[in-house]
Amino acid sequence: MKTAPPEHSAPTDAAQRKAVAPVICYPVSGLPRPDLAPFRAARDGWTKISETLAPARDAACFDVPAGHFFRITSVEGSQVGDLNLWNAHDLTERFYSGKTRALHGTHLSTGDKMWSSFPHLRPMALITDDSLDWYGFDSFGGSVHDVIGTRCDPYTHNLLAGGQYHHCCHSNLTRALADHTGLSLAKAEPHVHDVLNVFMCTGFTRDTGQYFMKASPVRPGDYLEFFAEIDLLGGLSACPGGDCSSEHSSDTAACHPLLIEVFKPAQAPAGWQPPPVNGYDRSHGR
């Protein structure tokens, strides 16, 4: 954090250096925005094939076949959730929040994709609807559905506050993945990864550049909807911080479950094909 007085005096051209205009790191002109019309049309006549409840201060796993939709909904009260996605047939292919952030920005919404890890780097899911898209960015620089935060975890909690807290999202997702796959906790834990913070309202402070959270604007009935581009195994933790208005590792915050519904469309969206793995030829060097 650059909050302490600098130890070095500014050079004579300091203002000129600071005035250099920024350049977008990953121009996405070669990554066209998807046409959402076929996906929205595919919702007509869809059939719900499953629903899963992620209990308050706990997590649940769920399966979504390629070409199906899934929707995460607030059902009882203001609540944020931490979402992991894996290839249902290969847990080593998983959601890559950092690359997704580099491509789409700090917060996701309708039309953005969730990209998978190397060497696959392909879209795992497309966000097709977001009932909180009206929020945009507030005066603090906050917005919802971030790919900034890592997930609340017991290691950082112990580092900063001490104690052995077992309902952090990292722990919840580990237990849910172990239960769903039959893996031991020790083997499941390395597969838990940085998340999409569904419904969480976050940003960076302008003076210190610190990651902040504030009360989520989510209310019962709000949802975030996705289209699965590959066969997915999902994991969702209903964060023990509730709406994350004050803390995110807590046994006292008001917490609520989150509902995950999976829908099968009557037919695939027109023109959609499952994405191939990234075409980079690794034989030329890694």
Q: What are phi and psi of 187, to 5 degrees?
A: -85, -25
- Give the burial class of 19: count Cβ atoms within 10 A of its Cβ; 0-12 exposed, 13-18 middle, 19 or more buried: exposed
Q: Where are the alpha helices (DSSP H) in 24-153?
A: 37-42, 97-104
- Give CA–CA dist 205/140, Å, rounded: 7
Q: Which residues pair with 51 in a beta bridge?
A: 261
Taking only the tens place, the pLDDT of each residue in 31-60 is 888 999 999 999 999 999 999 999 999 999
pLDDT band at 259 (very low <50, low <70, confident <90, very high): very high
CA atoms within 13 A on the CB side of 94: 16
pLDDT band at 69 (very low <50, low <70, confident <90, very high): very high
Average confidence (pLDDT) over 206-222: 95
Taking only the tens place, the pLDDT of each residue in 155-194 is 998 999 888 999 999 999 999 999 999 999 999 999 999 9
H/E segment holding residue 176: helix 169-181
In one-letter notation, the amino acid at residue 212 is: F
Report pLDDT for 30. Answer: 82
Cα 85–chain centre separation? 9
pLDDT at 72 over 90: yes
Average confidence (pLDDT) over 97-123: 97
- Give the burial class of 49: count Cβ atoms within 10 A of its Cβ; 0-12 exposed, 13-18 middle, 19 or more buried: middle
pLDDT at 20 over 90: yes
Average confidence (pLDDT) over 3-23: 92
Task: Mention every residue, 6+ apart, whose C-beta is less than 8 A from residue 106.
Answer: 143, 146, 147, 148, 203
